[in-house]
Amino acid sequence: MRWGPLHGLGTALQLLTRLPLADLDYEEGDLLESVPWYPLVGAGIGLALAGLGVLGVKAIAPAVGVVLVLAAEALFTGALHDDAAADVADGLGGGRDIVSRLRIMKDSSVGAYGALTLILLTAMRAACLWELPLGKWVPALVLAHAVGRTVMLPVMRVLPYARAEGVAGDLMAGLDWRRVGLSAGICTVIALAAAGWWGLLVVPLSVALVVGFVRLYRAQLGGVTGDALGAVCIAGELLTMLLLTAIWH
């Protein structure tokens, strides 16, 4: 089934969430049309998580709301990017060269570096939510998830694909700066809407994050993979939450 002019949205939802959209099909060109939807899908995820979390806090207790956000995020996204971050941690931590790092990242098992990364990521998310005023959960989660899905794109545009094939490689083949810039512009609008002028602080943060990951991946992996991009997403999400927590707590 096709969504007509909105099939880019359908493709973005398929790639970035685990919503039941199995009956939607996408073609190669749809991957590029999905790019401007990345920050909007991220913002939608953040809004849904915040709504469930606030409901949990008001109906039961603050700790329940925090756990509900974490559980819902894993459910909505299939923990896709968390798994990616764990794979990257294992690869960079345990590999001696590019070949061995990529091989470790492709292994489905989780090693010590990956397990520790998952524990710390979960703990840091919970700590940010616990310290943020309840009234700031919506803007913080909306902006964090929008930024996370957006910062992947310039990394994707700058670096070559490090493997022979994959969905990320198919997307990277046609990705241009116009689409990356459009996505960044949409994310900036979301930042202003969610956090006012404070939201613009995510711009230099995002630029620094992208530059850092480009240098890291070029040196350690010789390019980028789907897992590497997922780790960028998680980093963008978490750093935004940390920034807003420092401002608003």
Q: What is the pLDDT of residues 44-91, one digit of tens each?
A: 999 999 999 999 999 999 999 999 999 999 999 989 899 999 999 999
Instruction: Using the predicted structure, report yes or no on whether residue 30 has a pLDDT greater than 80.
Output: no
Please give the share of the chain, as a percent, with pLDDT higher than 70. 90
Instruction: Using the predicted structure, report yes or no on whether residue 212 has a pLDDT greater than 60.
Output: yes
Mean per-residue pLDDT for 165-184?
Answer: 80
User: Domain spans of the chain?
Assistant: 4-248
- The confidence score (pLDDT) of residue 102 equals 92
pTM of structure? 0.93
- The confidence score (pLDDT) of residue 6 equals 67
Sign of CA dihedral 54, 195, 31, 208: negative
Measure the CA–CA gap between 116 and 126, rounded to whole angstroms: 15
- The confidence score (pLDDT) of residue 136 equals 96
- The confidence score (pLDDT) of residue 167 equals 62
Residues 6+ apart with CB under 8 A from 148: 42, 81, 233, 234, 235, 236, 237, 240
Q: What is the pLDDT of residues 105-161, one digit of tens each?
A: 988 888 899 999 999 999 999 999 999 999 999 999 999 999 999 999 999 999 998
Instruction: Using the predicted structure, report yes or no on whether residue 23 has a pLDDT greater than 60.
Output: no
Instruction: Using the predicted structure, report yes or no on whether residue 28 has a pLDDT greater than 60.
Output: no
